[in-house]
Amino acid sequence: MTRTPQNNRQRFDLVIFDCDGVLVDSEVISCRAHAETLTRHGYAITEQQVLERFLGVSDREARLIVEAELGLKLPEDFEAQVKQAALQRYPSELSNIPHISAAIAAIGVPKCVASSGTPEKIRHGLACAGLHDALAPHIFSATQVKRGKPAPDLFLFAAERMQASPERCVVIEDSVAGITGALAAGMTVLGFHGGSHCLPGHAGKLRAAGAAATFDDMRQLPGLVAAGAGAGWPPGR
């Protein structure tokens, strides 16, 4: 991965945020909706198992995995059923990640969202958490590319739309799938493990997947981004 020389240290040109578990504390809600919908269609699975197996994976990719194991097709509107089950919970259960609004405001470079969710789900989640206006219209969904995470397609698409070189992008992710995709795109990744779904040991999984640094408090993020990509970065793990 390209690093800016120490004597020419610069900030990153673009910060790419995942949405679920990074901007909004929604992973527990999404996993519960996914588990209930799968179980209803004959694939018995718990909320925790969904979290462990499909965290960060697009609904489309998760569907293909389940269909291969079941040996049959899920209903055509399966993803819509999962999305609807999650969205119904958002108004009463969804909250944003603590301190994320201030962190976004303090980062002085362009920002965008690259999420495995559908555009409607992303927009609704950001709106419920009061974050939509701070990031719109730069919101990108896995539905806009051929392959979702852990493939690099979504991250490369976001960088292209934002006119940033991949090596000058830093991605904020909470999942191994997301980190894998961002690294494959040639980007630097910071692993966030402050969401309510993150169990002890999650930071280690993110570092093992290739996160350059991990953190659990969004108040740390502006400083990590401002430190840039120079030699000796990141300032701590």
| 222 shares a domain with 137 | yes
| 148 shares a domain with 39 | no
Distance CA 229, CA 205 (A): 22
In 128-231, which ranges are E strands? 139-141, 169-173, 188-192, 213-215
pLDDT for position 233: 54
DSSP 8-state class, residue 183? H
The burial class, CB within 10 Å (0-12 / 13-18 / 19+), for 82 is buried
pLDDT for position 169: 97
Coil/strand/helix, residue 127:
helix
Q: Contact, 118 vs 79, CB < 8 A?
A: yes
pLDDT for position 230: 47
pLDDT for position 227: 84
Domain span including residue 43: 28-92
Distance CA 175, CA 141 (A): 16
DSSP 8-state class, residue 187? -
| 176 shares a domain with 88 | no
Select from 129, 103, 111 the least CA-distant residue to 219: 103
List CB contacts of 76: < 8 A, sequence separation 6 or more. Answer: none
The domain that holds 68 is classified in CATH as 1.10.150
Q: Is 18 an annotated catalytic residue?
A: yes
| 207 shares a domain with 105 | yes
User: Looking at the domain assignment, is residue 194 inside a domain?
Assistant: yes
Coil/strand/helix, residue 172:
strand
| pLDDT under 70: residue ranges of the chain | 1-10, 228-237
pLDDT for position 224: 94
Residues in the chain: 237
| 196 shares a domain with 136 | yes
Coil/strand/helix, residue 130:
coil
| 174 shares a domain with 112 | yes
Looking at the 3D structure of the chain, how many domains does it have?
Answer: 2
pLDDT for position 235: 53
pLDDT for position 81: 92
Domain boundary among 45, 68, 92: 92
- Given the residues 13, 18, 59, 217, select the one marked as catalytic: 18
CB atoms inside a 10 Å sphere around CB 98: 14
Express each pLDDT in 173-217 by its tens digit: 999 999 999 999 999 999 999 998 888 899 999 999 999 999 999
